[in-house]
């Protein structure tokens, strides 16, 4: 019974609010650690100048697309894990975990090979300035060399969280963050001597610049993927898997994973492919605008970290409540996290609007880049309550089995609102980078409205099939 309690988290706290908080805080810390890796990369590369920042940023939308596909696999299998735990079917839970491991090795290797093949021409396809094409291609090639491990990180983290273990991914991401900082220092900059109160200190370095940042990130990301794989096998209790168990292909689990995962994959593809076109719009505005866009995107990542952590908790709790066939509990958790999202969004609105310039100044000292990046960050600040509510509601709906709705929301908002309005405002209206971000803010705000309406309708709580 002890093993069962450790992965069924519906009564983790003394009341539903405490349960959400206890399950959320490690996931929030995990998200902070993941973002810190991105912050450190951007800040260290930003010290090399706008061209280096643009070289890293030009392929970011493609990497986000891959992250979205990996997340779809994680969702497809982890929701089954959560619902099986709620239903008390631990054999089916273990079977789903084993099939998830097989998916990582089969699909991850294919993605890695594909990325290596397109690395060189990709920046050209995205409209990069000729001066950054070589560095951008090298950055993408190095980062994508460990995609099979990176996919594993996304999938295994999702499974651990949905089985009630949010602390292990958090601890491993702390390790990744520390490792990334050390490797960045070693790989990006040349050997340099600094003066301190203890006297001169010499820090060794290879001086690889953009390639050094990519190498450091690849090693760090690969390390956490490997450690999460080991953790998945070494866990004790009802979710334990081993090589001695049955690893035959399970059509039922894959069909269910496709039901949950394919709409998410389509949703992320819709967003990410739209973001690629969106990035080509920004690149037309020049290197300074692209650098400002990259830095503002990085800086605004802090605004939805708590909401992402709560989203993971929401999927776990609603999924387990659904597995236990407790509709009222699922709706209660949904209402709690929605209020949390709105409150967090209001706080982030104030933070981003007031501290926009200090935030972007972390990543660059270029006054032009700071000017544009802080301006667009204030635009983004205005829709934070709707954005944060939308993020947590996505977790609620996935746990309740409603995975298709988000695809249609993404299709409409990205292609019907963001790209159209961004183009019109940026070019015919002459607003440049500000027009681009007004289009994005309109898109994200509409997602919040549509998700709130969907939640109130109750149609998100549905059966598979």
Q: How confident is the prediction for the chain on average, in pLDDT?
A: 87
| The predicted structure's pLDDT at residue 4 | 39
Helix (H) or strand (E) holding 358: helix 356-361
| The predicted structure's pLDDT at residue 2 | 35
- pLDDT of 6 above 80: no
> What's the chain's Rg over C-alpha atoms?
22
DSSP-based three-state secondary structure for 409 = helix
What values do phi and psi take at 196, rounded to 5? Answer: -135, 175
> 385-443, pLDDT tens digit by residue?
999 999 999 999 988 988 889 889 989 999 999 999 999 999 999 999 999 999 999 99
**For residues 42 and 53, is the Cβ–Cβ distance under 8 A?**
yes
- pLDDT of 465 above 70: no
> 156-174, pLDDT tens digit by residue?
999 998 887 888 888 888 8
Question: Which among 395, 401, 384 is positioned nearest to 334, based on CA atoms?
Answer: 395
| The predicted structure's pLDDT at residue 37 | 63
Please name the residues in contact with 436: beta carbons below 8 A apart, sequence gap of 6 or more: 278, 281, 282, 285, 293, 376, 422, 425, 426
The packing angle between helices 367-381 and 287-300, to 10°, is: 50
> 12-48, pLDDT tens digit by residue?
777 888 888 888 888 888 777 767 666 666 677 777 8
> 316-349, pLDDT tens digit by residue?
899 889 888 888 999 999 999 999 999 999 999 9
Q: Which of 269-283, 291-305, 423-437 is most confident?
A: 423-437
pTM for this one?
0.75
Per-residue confidence band for 306, with pLDDT thresholds at 50, 70 and 90: confident
> 195-218, pLDDT tens digit by residue?
666 667 777 778 888 899 899 989
Q: How far is CA 364 from CA 50, 150, 177, 360, in A?
A: 8, 28, 20, 7
Express as a percent the part of the chain with pLDDT over 90.
47
The answer to which of 1-10, 175-184, 430-439 has the lowest mean pLDDT is: 1-10
Tokens of 335: 């209402």
- pLDDT of 106 above 50: yes
């Amino acid at each position: 019974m002890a093993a069962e309690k450790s992965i069924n988290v519906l009564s983790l706290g003394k009341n539903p609010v405490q349960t959400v908080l206890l399950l959320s805080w490690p996931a929030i810390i995990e998200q902070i650690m993941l973002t810190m890796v991105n912050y450190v990369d951007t800040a260290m590369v930003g010290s090399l100048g706008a061209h280096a920042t643009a070289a890293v940023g030009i392929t970011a939308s493609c990497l986000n697309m891959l992250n979205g596909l990996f997340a779809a696999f994680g969702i497809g299998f982890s929701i089954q894990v959560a619902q099986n735990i709620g239903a008390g079917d631990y054999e089916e839970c273990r079977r789903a975990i084993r099939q998830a491991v097989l998916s990582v090795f089969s699909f991850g290797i294919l993605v890695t090979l594909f990325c290596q093949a397109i690395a060189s021409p990709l920046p050209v396809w995205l409209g990069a300035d000729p001066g950054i094409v070589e560095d951008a291609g090298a950055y993408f090639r190095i980062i994508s060399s460990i995609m099979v491990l990176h996919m594993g990180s996304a999938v295994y983290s999702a499974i651990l969280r949905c089985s009630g273990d949010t602390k292990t991914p958090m601890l491993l991401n702390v390790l990744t963050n520390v490792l990334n900082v050390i490797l960045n220092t070693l790989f990006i900059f040349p050997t340099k001597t600094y003066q301190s109160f203890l006297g001169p200190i010499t820090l060794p370095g290879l001086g690889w610049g953009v390639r050094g940042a990519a190498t450091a990130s690849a090693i760090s990301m690969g390390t956490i993927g490997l450690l999460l794989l080991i953790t998945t096998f070494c866990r004790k209790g009802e979710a334990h898997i081993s090589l001695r168990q049955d690893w035959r292909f399970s059509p039922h689990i894959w069909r269910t994973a496709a039901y949950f995962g394919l709409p998410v994959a389509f949703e992320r593809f819709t967003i990410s492919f739209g973001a690629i076109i969106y990035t080509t719009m920004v690149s037309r505005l020049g290197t300074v605008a692209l650098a400002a866009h990259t830095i503002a995107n990085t800086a605004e990542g802090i605004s939805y970290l708590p909401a992402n952590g709560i989203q993971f908790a929401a999927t776990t709790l609603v999924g387990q409540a659904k597995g236990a066939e407790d509709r009222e509990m699922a709706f209660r958790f949904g209402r709690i996290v929605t209020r949390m999202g709105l409150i967090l969004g209001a706080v982030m609105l104030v933070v981003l609007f007031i501290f926009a310039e200090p935030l972007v100044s972390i990543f660059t000292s270029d006054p032009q880049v700071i000017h544009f990046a802080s301006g667009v960050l204030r635009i983004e600040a205005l829709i934070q309550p709707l954005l944060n509510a939308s993020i947590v509601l996505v977790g609620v709906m996935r746990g309740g089995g409603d995975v298709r709705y988000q695809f249609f929301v993404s299709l409409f908002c990205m292609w019907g609102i963001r790209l159209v309005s961004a183009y019109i405002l940026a070019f015919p209206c002459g607003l440049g980078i500000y027009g681009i971000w007004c289009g994005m803010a309109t898109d994200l705000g509409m997602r919040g409205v549509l998700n709130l309406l969907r939640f109130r309708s109750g149609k998100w709580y549905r059966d598979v099939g």
